[in-house]
């Protein structure tokens, strides 16, 4: 199904009344709030959205005030869902997984304090520190919290009629309560059968969860295993909750775990995203754009989704002078919407019904804005088969978490490697060490800076290398093991010294050659086994008269057809010689998709 999605305000009215912030921003609602909120629950606006092409929305359901306090808003949502379903729009209910409002929840749950996460001093953990002092963070080890949350979900499916749930703040919880301390000890005991050899300790019965240390590198084994424990704790809670949604008849699970935010250790491990999850909400700062000499994209989020089994709701923020902005021109909107189509077979945006701060007006009321989006959505629906595809990579980027735990910028090094491939016109996929055995001789695997590496990963690399797989090493490799201990300086694992010929520069033969710099490229194969070359501009403020492209791939043929949201974009020439296609594209403004037949 071609998903075209929109936010429909994920905040209940009482949250907007209660919240405070240090500045006026897109989040702040004022005296116009009741008019805007009433309109969101009527039929007129959802009918307009459906007419534009939107078929999936997420909207408020449970913010953490409690089932009793939020009952009236849930009833309003039940009536709204009738309108949405009548217009063919599915509704995903927003659930705040990260906070509870004690000022209202205590009326319903007198022993709420027993559910709450604690800091290292035993104080309650709150959302974002003091400004949100009234929002306590629940502990994922609290069985009472999990049981209550399941009641919320059952009510949403069985009574309200939701099609699924969007779980916000679904990331690592830094809790140091007695439950978590014991869970950490149990985890270490299960994972490390030789504690004295690894940690110098005879057992783990008296250890406590260490803090998240600052510094460039972490070599304390308990600190390294602390990071793994946090992700294990997270995925256990997520899996139980997400599986429950499907068990009670929910169709969709969407969650926001901080995808592609720089601090992997405080977010989540996409490799361990629960199988019952359908979508991940990529809320970060990666709105597609050119900033100075750097091109910023959400491409890696889509690549991680493709590899680990989820689709991406692209929901980044645009910032200027510390404020949040709404895209307001065709170029900015088009490149955002088409990025999702090309890399994820999905499109949509989080801003269409945000308040204009004038009576009940929303962004979608601007005819020009609505026309731009509707035009892109119509294009996507018309050519859905073109974007229902899988990657046809020219390089593979190895995803390996050990350096993410041990190296402060380990995950950033990984994302930088992805950006380097994008900047050089190299379509890529993400793989794990277990898949190295499937890589063909002559193909390229990229290793980001990976000073922490387990022996088994090295063995998989060495085996693939001996079969003729090429490796590009972008930094150090294998200086330390997964427990943080330095390896013998003569050990051949260090910087892959036993594997002569490891590349340190990107070879030209994996690139798609484009005559104009800055154009992003992707190659994919449709369900009908057609090769498609996609071109996307992150800086699309002008129209390029002519772009020449050279693509070498055994699947190219002598016939090709170009599709684009751009008026006047055309394929002027296409010649094929021994698997190499040479193309000339004219009138490229934002994007082009060229299908070989």
Can you tell me the distance from the alpha carbon of 46 to that of 89, in angstroms, rounded to the nearest whole number? 8
Q: Could you tell me if 399 and 364 are in contact, meaning their C-beta atoms sit under 8 angstroms apart?
A: no
**Total Cβ atoms within 10 A of residue 105:** 21
Instruction: Give the DSSP H or E segment for 43.
Output: helix 43-52
Taking the whole predicted model, whether its pTM rises above 0.85 is answered as: yes
Q: Which two tokens stand for residue 555?
A: 């699947």
Q: Report the pLDDT value the prediction gives residue 29, as an integer from 0 to 100.
A: 74
Place of tokens 């969709």: 252
Q: Could you tell me if 164 and 313 are in contact, meaning their C-beta atoms sit under 8 angstroms apart?
A: no
Q: Report the pLDDT value the prediction gives residue 25, as an integer from 0 to 100.
A: 62
Q: Residue 591 contacts by C-beta under 8 Å, 6 or more apart in sequence? A: 334, 335, 338, 342, 534, 535, 536, 537, 564, 565, 566
Q: Which two tokens stand for residue 13?
A: 């009215």
Q: Residue 534 contacts by C-beta under 8 Å, 6 or more apart in sequence? A: 342, 521, 522, 523, 524, 591, 592, 593, 594
Per-residue pLDDT of the chain (597 residues; tens, 9 = 90+): 799 999 999 999 999 888 866 555 666 678 899 999 999 999 999 999 999 999 999 999 999 999 999 999 999 999 999 999 999 999 999 999 999 999 999 999 999 999 999 999 999 999 988 788 999 999 999 999 999 999 999 999 999 999 999 999 999 999 999 999 999 999 999 999 999 999 999 999 999 999 987 789 999 999 999 999 999 999 999 999 999 999 999 999 999 999 999 989 889 999 999 999 999 999 999 999 999 999 999 999 999 999 999 999 999 988 776 667 889 899 999 999 999 999 999 999 999 999 999 999 999 999 999 999 999 999 999 999 999 999 999 999 999 999 999 999 999 999 999 999 999 999 999 999 999 999 999 999 999 999 999 999 999 999 999 999 999 999 999 999 999 999 999 999 999 999 999 999 999 999 999 999 999 999 999 999 999 999 999 999 999 999 999 999 988 987 999 999 999 999 999 999 988 999 999 999 999 999 998
Q: Could you tell me if 495 and 476 are in contact, meaning their C-beta atoms sit under 8 angstroms apart?
A: yes
Closest CA to 508 of 423, 406, 580, 424: 424
Q: Could you tell me if 589 and 539 are in contact, meaning their C-beta atoms sit under 8 angstroms apart?
A: no
Closest CA to 543 of 593, 594, 585, 595: 585
In the 3-class helix/strand/coil scheme, how is 344-407 assigned residue by residue? HCEEEECCCCCECCCCCCEHHHCHHHHHHHHHHHHHHHHCHHHHCEEECCCEEEECCCHHHHHE
Q: What domains sit in the chain, N to C, each tagged with a CATH number?
A: 1-94+352-382 (no CATH), 395-508 (3.40.50.880), 511-596 (2.60.40)
Q: Report the pLDDT value the prediction gives residue 30, as an integer from 0 to 100.
A: 85
Can you tell me the distance from the alpha carbon of 588 to that of 571, in angstroms, rounded to the nearest whole number? 10
Q: Could you tell me if 217 and 407 are in contact, meaning their C-beta atoms sit under 8 angstroms apart?
A: yes
């Amino acid at each position: 199904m071609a998903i075209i999605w929109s936010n429909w305000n994920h905040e209940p009215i009482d949250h907007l009344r209660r919240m405070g912030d240090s500045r006026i921003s897109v989040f702040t609602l004022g005296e116009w709030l009741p008019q805007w909120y009433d309109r969101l629950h009527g039929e007129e606006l959802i009918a307009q959205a459906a007419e534009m092409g939107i078929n999936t929305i997420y909207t408020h359901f449970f913010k953490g005030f409690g089932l009793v306090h939020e009952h009236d808003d849930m009833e309003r949502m039940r009536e709204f869902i009738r309108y949405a379903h009548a217009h063919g729009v599915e509704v995903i209910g927003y659930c705040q997984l990260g906070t509870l409002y004690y000022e209202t929840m205590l009326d319903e749950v007198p022993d709420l304090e027993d559910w709450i996460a604690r800091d290292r001093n035993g104080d309650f953990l709150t959302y974002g520190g003091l400004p949100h002092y009234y929002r306590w963070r629940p502990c994922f080890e609290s069985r009472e919290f999990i049981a209550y949350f399941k009641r919320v979900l059952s009510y949403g499916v069985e009574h309200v009629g939701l099609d699924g749930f969007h779980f916000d703040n679904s990331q690592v919880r830094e809790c140091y309560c007695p439950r978590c301390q014991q869970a950490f000890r149990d985890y270490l005991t299960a994972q490390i059968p030789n504690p004295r050899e690894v940690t110098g300790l005879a057992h783990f019965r008296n250890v406590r969860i260490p803090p998240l240390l600052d510094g460039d590198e972490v070599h304390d084994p308990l600190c390294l295993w602390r990071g793994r424990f946090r992700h294990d704790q997270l995925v256990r809670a997520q899996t139980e909750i997400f599986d429950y949604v499907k068990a009670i008849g929910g169709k969709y699970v969407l969650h926001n775990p901080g995808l592609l935010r720089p601090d992997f250790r405080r977010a989540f491990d996409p490799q361990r995203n629960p199988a019952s999850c359908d979508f991940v909400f990529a809320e970060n700062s990666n709105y597609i754009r050119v900033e100075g000499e750097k091109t910023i994209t959400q491409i890696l989020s889509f690549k991680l989704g493709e590899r680990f089994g989820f689709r991406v709701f692209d929901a980044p923020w645009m910032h200027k002078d510390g404020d949040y902005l709404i895209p307001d021109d065709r170029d900015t909107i088009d490149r955002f919407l088409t990025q999702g189509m090309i890399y994820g077979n999905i499109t949509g945006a989080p801003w269409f019904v945000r308040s204009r701060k004038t009576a009940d007006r929303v962004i979608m009321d601007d005819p020009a804005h609505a026309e731009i989006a509707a035009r892109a959505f119509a294009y996507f629906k018309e050519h859905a088969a073109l974007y229902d595809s899988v990657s046809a990579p020219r390089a593979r980027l190895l995803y390996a978490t050990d350096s993410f735990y041990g190296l402060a910028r380990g995950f950033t090094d990984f994302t930088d490697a992805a950006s380097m491939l994008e900047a050089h016109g190299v379509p890529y996929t993400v793989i794990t060490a277990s898949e190295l055995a499937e890589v063909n001789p002559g193909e390229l695997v990229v290793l980001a800076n990976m000073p922490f590496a387990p022996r088994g990963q090295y063995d998989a690399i060495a085996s693939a290398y001996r079969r003729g797989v090429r490796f590009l090493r972008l930094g150090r490799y294998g200086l330390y093991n997964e427990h943080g201990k330095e390896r013998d300086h003569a050990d051949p694992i260090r910087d892959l010294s036993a594997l002569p010929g490891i590349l340190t520069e990107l070879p030209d033969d994996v690139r798609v050659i484009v005559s104009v710099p800055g154009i992003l490229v992707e190659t994919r194969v449709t369900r009908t086994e057609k090769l498609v070359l996609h071109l996307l501009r992150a800086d699309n403020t002008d129209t390029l008269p002519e772009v020449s492209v050279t693509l070498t791939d055994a699947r190219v043929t002598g016939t090709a057809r170009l599709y684009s949201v751009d008026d006047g974009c055309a394929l002027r020439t296409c010649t094929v010689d021994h698997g190499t296609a040479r193309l000339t594209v004219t009138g490229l403004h934002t994007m082009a998709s060229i299908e070989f037949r």
